[in-house]
Amino acid sequence: MKREIKFKLNGEEVTAEVESHWTLLYFLREVLKLKGTKEGCGYGECGACTVVIDKMAVNSCLFPVMEVNGKDVLTIEGISGPGEALHPLQKAFIEEGAVQCGFCTPGMIMSAYALFEEKKNPDDEDIKEAIEGNLCRCTGYVKIIDAINAAKRGK
C-alpha cells in the first residue's frame, strides 16, 4: 500500500508516495534517482549509504523510509552552500588525494559533515571515531583523515 510522507531533503520540502517497506536508500537511489548515496553492503557494515538526518550520520540502507516523515535529510547532493560548486569537504578530498575509486567518498564526507555539526574543532581521534563505520578499500584512510583535517583548517 502506498503511503504519503513529507520531509525536507537537501533543504527543500518533498512530498512523496512510498511503500512502507522501502528503505530510505532505495527511495533516494531508485525513485528520486539521487545516485550519490551508494549501496555497498546493505547491512550497516560499510557506511557507503551514510546520509545525515537531523544532524546525525545514519545508514540509509537500514532506515525505513516511513520514518523520515517530518525529518531533515541531507545527502551528498545537498551539502554545498548556495552559489558554491563544492562543499569545503569535497574540495579537501580532491586536493588531498583522498578519492581513489570514489565509492566510499560520499559516505565518508557525510560522516565528516555530521562530525563538524557536532564538533567544530575535532582532533584526529574524533575524526577516526567518526569514520569508524565507513570502509575504504583503496586509500588506507590516511589521506581521508588528512582531507578532513584540511577542511577543518579551511573552515
Ligand X SMILES: Cc1cc2nc3c(=O)[nH]c(=O)nc-3n(C[C@H](O)[C@H](O)[C@H](O)COP(=O)(O)OP(=O)(O)OC[C@H]3O[C@@H](n4cnc5c(N)ncnc54)[C@H](O)[C@@H]3O)c2cc1C
Give the interface with other proteins as residue ranges (CB under 8 A).
1, 3, 19-23, 42-45, 47, 50, 56-59, 62-64, 66-67, 111, 114, 129-130, 132-133
Q: d(Cα 135, Cα 126) in Å, to the nearest integer?
A: 16
Count residues contacting ligand X (CB under 6 A)? 3
In angstroms, how far is CA 54 from the centroid of its own chain? 12
Name which position in 30, 45, 84, 95 contacts ligand X (CB under 6 A): 45
Residue 88 corresponds to which amino acid? P
Q: How far is the CB of 104 from other proteins (least distance, A)?
A: 13
Residue with the three cell numbers 523520515: 68
Query: What's 44-57 look like in SS3?
Result: CCCCCCEEEECCEE
**Rounded (5°) CA angle 152-153-155:** 65
Q: Is 49 one of the binding residues for ligand FES (CB under 6 A)?
A: yes
Q: How far is the CB of 12 from ligand X (least distance, A)?
A: 28
Name which position in 18, 51, 61, 110 contacts ligand FES (CB under 6 A): 61
Q: Is 129 one of the binding residues for ligand X (CB under 6 A)?
A: no
